[in-house]
Amino acid sequence: MEQEAPKDNLRWWILLTVIIGTFLGRLDQTIVNLALPKIIDSFSITVSAAGWIATAYILANAIFVPVWGKLGDTIGRKKVYILGFSIFILGSLLAALSWNLTSMIIFRVIQAIAGSADYPTAMAIVAVTFKQGKERAQALGIWSTSFAAASVFGPLIGGPLIDSFGWQSIFLINIPIGIVGILMALRFIKESVSEVKSVSFDWWGAIVLGGSLSSLVLVLDRGLDWGWFSVSAIACYFLTIALLGLFIKIENKVKEPIVDLKFFKIPAFVNALVNNFVVFMGMIGGIFLLPIFAQTFLGYTATQSGYLFIPMAFSMVIASPLGGSLTGKVQARYIIFWSTLVASIGLFLFTRIDPKSTALDLIVPLIIMALGLGFGMAQRTNVVASVVDQHEIGIASSILALVRNIAGAFGIAIFATILNNSTKSNLLKINQHSFITVHNPQIVQEFVTLVTLKAQVDAYAHVFLISSIIVFIGAFLALFLKVKNERKDLKVLIE
C-alpha cells in the first residue's frame, strides 16, 4: 500500500534523485545523435543504416513505457526504478563496447527498454511523495525541467566528449552518474505500490500494444525516406490500426488491463492528453529544426548551437515552479491557456529568422517559448495525476509519457515533410518569377545558390508559422479542460 509521504527535506532529496535519473535518460537520447558521424566512420556504415540506431531506441522506448508503468504500480515503483536504472547502466557499458552496427542496435534497445522505466515510475514517485496539490504541482514542474535541461546539455557535454575521447565516451559517462543515482535511490526513495493487489499481468495486451506502437513509430521515423504512400508505409498504417483495434478488444475483456480504458471516460484526462499531444507536436516539431538552421545557415558548430538553448533551460527552470505555485489559486485551464499562448508567440517569432540573424534573434524567442511552456508544464502533468486514483498514477503517467513521445515523433515527421515539400514548392515559385540574362558560369552558379537559399529559408519560416499555429490552437483547447477533484488527500482546486 502507499506509504506516508516523507517529510521535510527528505522529499526534496527524493525529487533530486528522480531528476538525476530522468536527466540521464533524456541526455542519452540527445547526445547519441552527435556521435553518429563518428560511429558511421568507425563501423564503415551508411547514414541510412546509422538511422536505425536512433529508430531502434525510439521503438523500444515507446513500447515499454506502459509495461513499466503497470509493473511499477504492481510490484513497487522503487524496485522498478532501480531495476530500470541498473539495466540502463549495463546497456550503456555494452553500447560503449559495440563492435558493429548489429551489436550497437541490440545494446541500444537494451538501453531504451531500461530507460523507458524512468518516466512512469519517476512521476508516480513524485506524486506519492508530494501529496499536497500545490506542492505536488511545484515538484512536478521542477522535475519536468530535467527534460529541457537534458536537451540543452546534450550538445554541450557530448561535443567535447566525442572530440576528446571518442564516441564511446558518451556511453561510459552514464556509468558513474548512474551509480550515484542508484545509491541515492536506495538511500532516499521509499517503496510504494498500488493498494489494489494484482493477480496477473496483461502480457497479451502488452505484446499487441507494442506491435501497434512499433508500426506507428517506425512509419513516423522512416516515412519521409520511404515515401508516405509507399507500400511499406501503408503496411505500417494498416498494422497500427488493426493491432490497436485488437488491443482495445483485449483490454475490455481482461481483469487487469495494462491500460485501463476507463481513463478515457474521464473528460479531464482525455482533454489533458489532447492538449499535451497538440502542444508537444507543435513544439518539438518546430524546435528540432532550429539547430539545423543554425548550423546550416548561420555557420554554428554543434556545441555553439547548444549554447543557444542555455537561456531556454534556465527560463524553464524558473517558470515551472512559478506555474506550479498557482495551483489552488487559479484554475489550471487558464494557466495552461495563457502559458501555451505565450509559447506560441515565441514560436511565431522564429518566422523572422534569416541568414543575417544574430544569436539574440534566436535566444529571445526561445526564452519566450520556454517561459510559456514551463509555466504550464506542472499544471499539465498535475491534471493527469489528479484525476485518477492514486494507485493508478504510474500507468496514467505512462500514458502521458506515451502521448508526448508520439506527439514528438508526429511533429518531427510532419514538419520534416513540410520543410521538404515547402522547399520544393518555393523553388518552383521563385524560378517562375526569376530570370538571368548572362551566361557566365560563375554568375549562374551564384544565381542558383541564392535561389536555393531563399527557397530553404522561406521553408523554415513556413514550418515555424505552422508550428506556432498548432500550439496556438493547443492553447484554446486548454479552455475545455475542466477538472473537479473530489479526493480529500489532494488539495487541488482546479475548478
The domain limits of the chain are: 1-201, 203-253, 260-418+459-495
Q: Would the pLDDT of 483 be above 60?
A: yes
pLDDT digits (tens, 9 = 90+) for 84-118: 889 999 999 999 999 998 899 899 989 988 888 88
**Measured distance CA(412)–CA(310) in Å, rounded:** 22
Average pLDDT over residues 469-473: 90
Helices 332-349 and 359-386: angle between axes, nearest 10 degrees: 160
The angle subtended at Cα 487 by Cα 140 and Cα 191, nearest 5°, is: 55
Long-range CB contacts (within 8 A, 24+) of 484-488: 484/268, 485/133, 485/386, 485/387, 487/386, 487/390
The answer to which of 25-34, 86-95, 337-346 has the lowest mean pLDDT is 25-34
Domain covering 260-418+459-495, topology: Growth Hormone; Chain: A; (1.20.1250)
With cell 563501423, the residue in question is 43
pLDDT digits (tens, 9 = 90+) for 366-401: 899 888 888 887 787 778 777 777 667 767 777 887
pLDDT band at 432 (very low <50, low <70, confident <90, very high): low
pLDDT band at 188 (very low <50, low <70, confident <90, very high): confident
Topology agreement, domain 1-201 and domain 260-418+459-495: yes
Query: CB 385: neighbour CB atoms within 10 A?
Result: 26
Q: Would the pLDDT of 364 be above 90?
A: yes
Contact 438, 246 (CB under 8 A): no
Average pLDDT over residues 260-273: 83
Q: Where are the alpha helices (DSSP H) in 309-392?
A: 310-324, 332-349, 359-386
pLDDT digits (tens, 9 = 90+) for 271-317: 888 888 888 888 777 777 787 788 778 888 766 776 777 788 788 77
- Ramachandran quadrant class, 4 (left: phi over 0; alpha: psi -120 to 50; beta: rest): beta
pLDDT band at 448 (very low <50, low <70, confident <90, very high): low
pLDDT of residue 163: 77
Per residue, what are the HEC states of the chain? CCCCCCCCHHHHHHHHHHHHHHHHHHHHHHHHHHHHHHHHHHHCCCHHHHHHHHHHHHHHHHHHHHHHHHHHHHHCHHHHHHHHHHHHHHHHHHHHCCCCHHHHHHHHHHHHHHHCCHHHHHHHHHHHHCCCHHHHHHHHHHHHHHHHHHHHHHHHHHHHHHHHHCCCHHHHCHHHHHHHHHHHHHHHCCCCCCCCCCCCCCHHHHHHHHHHHHHHHHHHHHHHHHCCCCHHHHHHHHHHHHHHHHHHHHHCCCCCCCCCHHHHHCHHHHHHHHHHHHHHHHHHHHHCCHHHHHHHHCCCCHHHHHHHCHHHHHHHHHHHHHHHCCCCCCCHHHHHHHHHHHHHHHHHHHHHCCCCCCHHHHHHHHHHHHHHHHHHHHHHHHHHHHCCCHHHHHHHHHHHHHHHHHHHHHHHHHHHHHHHHHHHHHHHHHHHCCCCCCCCHHHHHHHHHHHHHHHHHHHHHHHHHHHHHHHHHHHHHHHHCCCCCCCCCCCCCCC
pLDDT digits (tens, 9 = 90+) for 164-180: 888 899 899 889 988 99
pLDDT band at 60 (very low <50, low <70, confident <90, very high): confident
pLDDT of residue 492: 37
Average pLDDT over residues 423-432: 72
Domain covering 1-201, topology: Growth Hormone; Chain: A; (1.20.1250)
pLDDT band at 495 (very low <50, low <70, confident <90, very high): very low
Looking at every residue in the chain, the average pLDDT score rounds to 79
The angle subtended at Cα 45 by Cα 40 and Cα 51, nearest 5°, is: 70
pLDDT band at 228 (very low <50, low <70, confident <90, very high): confident
pLDDT of residue 348: 93
pLDDT of residue 2: 47
Q: Would the pLDDT of 52 be above 90?
A: no
Q: Would the pLDDT of 326 be above 50?
A: yes
pLDDT of residue 234: 92
Better-predicted residue by pLDDT, 441 or 298: 298
Contact 58, 406 (CB under 8 A): no
Q: Would the pLDDT of 263 be above 70?
A: yes
